[in-house]
Structure 1
């Protein structure tokens, strides 16, 4: 079973995780043969955090509990508190996870945290626009690998800027292989455009007898 860890920290940007966590947790559009997922929130401690939107989240586990293996994925959201030294532990885990064949997905301020650790110096990536990482991450040396797109996937590293939450979610879902291709495209186009034709195409793409046992579990 794949475990998706969602790092939670004070001032977390709620909207950046909304699309991807809702779909991975609900499994409402999963293909019949999709692998089971376990979603866990992880914090630098087990103490509650407060998001930018004012929600209180109590982490399911701490950084030390994160399993470093190829069947783990780590989602790193943006936040205004990434400069706090206690978050260095999760960035170290992210480096270990990539080395072990796991998946790391970072958006907005989390990309600056990866850049500060040198993890974006030799891999295609994106962030909040050209020049942002130079400003936010002293010592960043990955300019020639920067791609000016909302979201960029480089194998098991997926990065995005703050306005790229939807394409970031699409690339994560595609990487995890839990939606059929036509379902994923219809889902993306519906939330991108609001077109009712995409909504009905999304519904028509689903298996007629979706099984409960492919829903994610906690």
Structure 2
């Protein structure tokens, strides 16, 4: 049963980038969010939060994985994190969706997951400069802040709201109309119709 969203944590991970997505994943109560580290040792985020991973990448339950989320962090720029790259490749082979934001997209590229799907990232040329084996340049879409194609979600470091929207859609949270209202609320501060009356009354 695919009921778990795995979120990778490591020293220096960008804690804000997937925050909106994770909150919406947990809101309905149908999905379990589990933090995954390279080990089970506590890590400190870029924002200074101390996080205790629930399990290590070697302990992932492939049959339960619905989605794996990889946030940005300087270790991807340094070419580190090989264990996570291998785990992403294995998760994808097992049928799980995978998502990367900011430099977390580099981990997906190193796993060979961006060579034949539409994707985006921080800027054109960033992936090719960091990942020698990457062959997906023709499918890179510089016109969007987030992209989703065939179970693979990618986003720019400037696209946390768009990233959350793609995660919400991938997990089929809410209806299409509610998803659009959600996006307009968080991106443009446009209240949904059912809140307008409450706002006026207040």
TM-score (norm 1): 0.82
Determine the C-alpha separation between the residues in 1 that align with 2:95 and 2:113: 14
The equivalent residue for 2:137 is 143
Paired residue secondary structure (2:158): coil
Give ranges in structure 1 of 5+ residues lacking alignment. 204-218
After the TM superposition, which residues 142-161 of structure 1 pair with which residues of structure 2 at under 5 Å, given as runs? 142-148=136-142, 149-161=144-156
8 A contact 1:46–1:62 mirrored in 2 = yes
> What is the deviation of 1:69?
3.0
> What is the deviation of 1:48?
0.8
8 A contact 1:189–1:198 mirrored in 2 = no
Work out the number of aligned pairs and report it.
Answer: 194
> What is the deviation of 1:70?
6.8
TM-score (norm 2): 0.88
The equivalent residue for 2:20 is 19
Determine the C-alpha separation between the residues in 2 that align with 1:71 and 1:8: 16
After the TM superposition, which residues 69-108 of structure 1 pair with which residues of structure 2 at under 5 Å, given as runs? 69=63, 71-82=65-76, 83=78, 85=80, 87-108=81-102
Give ranges in structure 2 of 5+ residues lacking alignment. none
Q: Looking at both structures, which has the greater relative contact order when contacts are Cα pairs under 8 Å and sequence separation is at least 6? A: 1
Determine the C-alpha separation between the residues in 2 that align with 1:199 and 1:162: 31
8 A contact 1:43–1:62 mirrored in 2 = yes
Q: CA RMSD in A?
A: 1.9
